[in-house]
Amino acid sequence: MIISVINLTRGKISDEQLQCAIRAVNRQITDDFEPYWSFGGKLRLEGRTSGRPDKRHFSEMRGDAVLYLWDRIDAKDALGYHDKNDAGIPYGVVLTELGLDECWTVTFSHEALELLGDPQCNLLVQGPDPRNRGRSVFHWFEMCDAVQDETYEIDGVKVSNFVLPQYFTLGEQVGSRNDFLGLSHSGKTLRSFGVNPGGYVGFVDPRTGRNGTFEMDERAALRHAAKRKAGATRSILRNKGAQMR
């Protein structure tokens, strides 16, 4: 997948800064992500023809999907981080001024990886209910949400941690790794379908047919609330899709 990146921050983030972030995320995809997941893509910076994301026409798109950097919190203009237009073309919007204690490059990495993992925002994996692991729900196929508070650097650019394929398996596999960094919290690493501090997971409950989220702690809840207020959560998009069906 070639992802066209469009800078709509009106100079707040320069193209030079963005090129450095693109280079780092492309290295992350090639060197870190693809060896585990066996699929990947490339980001490249394109020109711009308007001052706001255009989810219908994509006149700037030169690849297979579009990822906008947008500096205005406007749920009407930027429905969310990751959606698809009426023709099924995947696109994302990185909102750079959500007021979160997080560098925009981490959000950029997060959304790029999730655009690769689930371009149409519709994949689910059966797993334990995070509220009651004795019953099953259908987890959203998200690459970063469960470990979204964890970062590392590539060429001085902060990028997001991400889960690995073994994360989406029932039970723990001998010698498995469930996320790239493998950080330990209270002496334990991330378990399958688990959530690390600062993270959350989304799921569909088959009993109600509705989407739900499980936030690990107050920090995760505050972050999710900020995204939800801006209309920038995947749960909004998935609920919208469910209503359309």
> In the chain, where are the structural domains located?
2-117, 124-244
pLDDT digits (tens, 9 = 90+) for 4-54: 999 999 899 999 999 999 999 999 999 999 999 999 999 999 987 666 655
Q: What is the mean pLDDT of the chain?
A: 83
Please enumerate in sequence order all residues whose Cβ is within 8 A of that of 1, keeping only pairs 6 or more positions apart, or say none.
40, 41, 42, 63, 64, 65, 115, 116, 119
Residues facing residue 126 across a β-bridge? 138
Query: Do residues 65 and 5 touch, judged by C-beta distance below 8 A?
Result: no
The first and second tokens of residue 51, run together, are 């001052």
Residue 206: the pLDDT is 94
pLDDT digits (tens, 9 = 90+) for 70-111: 887 654 433 334 444 445 678 888 888 766 677 899 999 999
Mean pLDDT of 144-169: 96
CA distance 47 to 39: 26
- Confirm or reject CATH 3.40.50 for domain 2-117, answering yes or no: yes
DSSP 115-143: HHH-TTS--EEEEEETTEEEEEEEEE--S
pTM: 0.86
Sign of dihedral through CA atoms 17, 78, 203, 65?
A: negative
Residue 74: the pLDDT is 54
> Is residue 238 pLDDT above 70, yes or no?
no
* Residue type (1 letter), 226: A
CA distance 34 to 15: 26
Mean pLDDT of 181-193: 95
Q: How confident is the model at residue 174 (pLDDT cuts 50, 70, 90)?
A: confident
Supply φ then ψ for residue 37, to 5 degrees: -95, -15
Query: Do residues 53 and 17 touch, judged by C-beta distance below 8 A?
Result: no
